[in-house]
Amino acid sequence: MSPSGEVRGYFASGIDITKRSAAERALRNAQQQLQRHAATLRSVTEAIPANIAVFDADQRFRFVNSGFERWLGSPRDAIVGRTMREVLGPDEYERSRPWVERVLIGETVNFEKDFPAPGGARHLAISYIPLWLENGAIDGFIGVAQDISQHKEEASRLLQLIQRDALTGLLNRAGFEGYMERSFQEGRGASLALLYIDLDHFKSINDRHGHPVGDQVLQLFGQRLRHLVRPTDAVARLGGDEFAIVLSGVREAADAHTVAEKVIAAARIPFETDALSLDTSASVGVAFGTDPAANWPDLIRRADAMLYRAKEGGRGRQAGYPG
C-alpha cells in the first residue's frame, strides 16, 4: 500500500476444477452409455416375437414391449407403474400368483395358460425369470410369453387322428384308454360305469355279405351308440365288433343297466345297408365304480368278465353287478 493509502497490488486465489470436469465427463459418458444400452434393450425386446414385461419386487410393471401392449389392448403408459393385480385384474392375477411367488424366491418357472378369445382360446407359454442384484437380493423378474395356439391346435388335431377310429369316428382303443386314465386322475373313477359291447354273430355278416357291408353295419351301430349317451360320456370302437361306452357321473348301477338295455334294443333294429336289411343283436357287460385302490384296468377286467357271462347266457342280453 502506498503512503497515500492507495492499493498498489492484488491477491488472487484459484480452484483446480480439472478433477470435477473429469468427473462430469465420466458421468455424461456413463449416462450416454446407459441410454445406448436402453435403446439396444428396447430394440431387442421389440424384435423378439413375444410379449415381454419387467416387474419390480413389488410386482409393479417397470417395462413392457409393444407385443405386450397389443396383447393386453392397453398402452404402456397405462401399464407401467401399476401392479399385476391392477393391470390383469384379481381373477387373472390369482391364476398367476403361484408362479409369481416362486420366481420371487429365485426360481425360474415355465408354465402354460389359456385365455378366452374370439374364435377360440389362445394358449401362451410363459416364463418368469428372476432379476438379481449384486448382493444376491431379488430385484423383480422378467415375464416372457409366446403364443402357442397354432401349435396346440395342430397337436390337438394330430391327437384326434391318433385316438379316433377311422371307420366309425369313435374313439379307438388308445383314445378310450386315454379317456379312462384322465377320468381316474381327476378322481372320477368311483362314478364311472363301463359297458363292454359285442355285436353277436357279426362274423357271419362279413362271411355272407362281404366286408364292405359289415363296415356299414359297424358305422350304423356306432352312430346309434353315440345317440344313446350324453356329450360328457365316451363311446369307443375297440376293434372288430367290440365297442365300449363309458358313462360319467353315474350315481348307481341301475342307471348303467338302463343304458345297457337301450344298447340291446338299438342293436335289434334291422340295419339297412343298400338293398339289405340285416338283423343282429348285442351282448353287454356292465361294471360300475371301482375300489379307490384300484385303477381303470380293474373296471375293464370286470366289464369284460360280465360280457363273457352275457354271451354264455345266450347273447342279446346284459350281465353285471347286480346282474
Residue type (1 letter), 200: D
Q: How far is CA 156 from CA 10, 147, 167, 235, 246, in A?
A: 93, 16, 20, 19, 21
Asked if residue 217 lies in contact with residue 207, where contact means CB atoms within 8 angstroms, the answer is no
What whole-number distance in Å separates Cα of residue 132 and Cα of residue 41? Answer: 18
Closest CA to 71 of 95, 51, 98: 51
Residue 270: asked if its preceding bond is cis (omega within 30°), the reply is no
- Annotated active-site residue in 114, 147, 241, 274: 241
Q: Give the H/E segment covering residue 144.
A: strand 138-147
Tell me the sheet residues that pair with 288: 193
Cβ atoms 221, 281 nearer than 8 A: no
From the list 74, 75, 310, 116, the residue with the least C-alpha distance to 195 is 310
- In what helix (H) or strand (E) does residue 84 lie, and over which residues does it extend? helix 84-88
Active site residue 91: no
What is the C-alpha to C-alpha distance for residues 37 and 20, in angstroms, rounded to an integer?
25
CA dihedral (38, 41, 46, 47) positive or negative: positive
Q: CA 105 → CA 56, 59, 88, 99, distances in Å?
A: 13, 13, 22, 10
Q: How far is Cα 83 from Cα 58, in angstroms, rounded to an integer? A: 8
Cell of 96: 398367476
Write out 216-245 in H/E/C secondary structure: HHHHHHHHHHHHHCCCCCEEEEEECCEEEE
Question: Could you tell me the three cell numbers for 184?
Answer: 381316474
Please give the positions annotated as active site: 241
